[in-house]
Structure 1
Amino acid sequence: MIELQNVSVSYGDAIALYPTTLKLHQGQFTVLLGSSGAGKSTLLRCINSLHASQRGATIVAGLGNLANSRALRMHRRQTGMVFQQHQLIGRLTALQNVSMGRMGYHTALRSLFPLPAKDQSICLQSLDRVGLLHKALSRVDALSGGQQQRIGIARALAQQPKLVLADEPVASLDPATAERVLSLLHRICKEDGISAVVSLHQVDLAQRYADRIIGLSHGRVIFDAAPQTLDQASYDTLYEQVPRSSLSVPQDAREERLIDTSFPM
């Protein structure tokens, strides 16, 4: 479905992601696993060509190389994004936030006016899928963290995506809420045949929900296999395979500082 060919990201002399070649398959729920600063968010954003310093090629089936602006625009339209910090507008209602998932299907001028009835119906259905239809007219800043993340998932669903990219979607949630949110995302993706790439640092969640785990450490892929072959002990061993003397990225140079520009264009 999507192929990364020798994709890398660097900032001056600092290497955030070493040259990486991967194929992501249709319908898979893929987890990028690693600790903070491992390169998970960088790799995730490369799938949507969000890094100005990105090198290599990203090829999408049916669209071609994302270096082509039209292919990139179409790819982003059919790719939903879910963020760790939700990226919602607190003063707006849940429905208004979810409606932003439809903006990629309209011109900038048309987006200044209320959405057509068809789009509004899609947004309401998306809220219903995450169990928050009754909160459609509630301000987002009045909702809990778990509810806000479900609104973020509903916004992604409103795009009617073929692919969902989720960047540490449960990192800011308590364990019980994290389990419910990830279970919800996994169920919806499987029901709708949506491919997903989700970055996590929790090994247990990765093993429970992933079809495939890609482990990263210090900007390198160090594991790529089925989840049943990875446990905490083996992950710790894999983590230590990359010598710390080879680090090119400071431990505190985290991808979360990057500005998100991932809404459909």
Structure 2
Amino acid sequence: MIDLLLAADPGAVTTTTAVFSAENLIALLTLTALEIVLGIDNVVFIAILAGKLPPEQRAKARTIGLALALVTRILLLMTIAWIIGLAKTNLFNVPFMTEQVHEHDASGAPIIREVVLGISGRDLVLIIGGAFLIGKATLEIHHKIEDRHDKPKAVKATSFAMVIAQILMIDMVFSLDSVITAVGMAQAIWVMVAAVTISIGIMLAFAGKISAFIERHPTMKMLALAFLILIGVVLVADGIGQHIPKGYVYFAMAFALGVELLNLKVRARHPAEVIAG
């Protein structure tokens, strides 16, 4: 993904005469679809956090969370030069770790060099955000496992402001990943802004249904938390230069989701058999 960003020419992100050219429209459709796929993790995280609030506050939290995601993405798109600098400039090096750099020699032949791992601003954001996701999801799983249903639960009041603060933090991480993808795939700034706006609008329309579905099915919530841990690992790995192809990750998540949906269907049709084992 970072290769796509560095390949993008910041000077080319300008308004062209053919604003609604076939190329721009195709880029808009493709980027919108990709932004929706990349944003599912954001929606799941917001749904899980909003689920800690009283029912009357959950819809408000989801709306604010996705609105903040939209604002963050647009602000980042308005500062493309800063985003590129954030990705290219190393803040510090990690002497005990190396990464492979693909280059070409004088004759044009590809060569691979190992250099000391450098951590850029983008890498630092991904590492911190990924670690936060892993820690938060692990803590939620621990609470689910340790929850005693035979004892009355003391209802813990969750601060609305605290939930929004956590949503804002993870919005920044997912927004950075989203904007880097947008810059690598489109030339016109309006295409990027339109794709992000449309994708957030679609996610907002379905956020309530996704949240209700997760709340109705405890096993699905556990699977969603496991997905967040997986995404956190991918973010941390990406931050330290160990890039995991997103296609493999999304395929694994889709396969696990498909299996769990089949399990839910079996439980719904044969509840007695499931209970009996």
Instruction: Tell me the TM-score normalised to structure 1 length.
Output: 0.23
Instruction: Tell me the TM-score normalised to structure 2 length.
Output: 0.23
Give the number of the structure whose residues are more often strand, by fraction: 1
Q: Please identify the structure whose Cα radius of gyration is greater.
A: 2
Give the number of the structure whose residues are more often helix, by fraction: 2
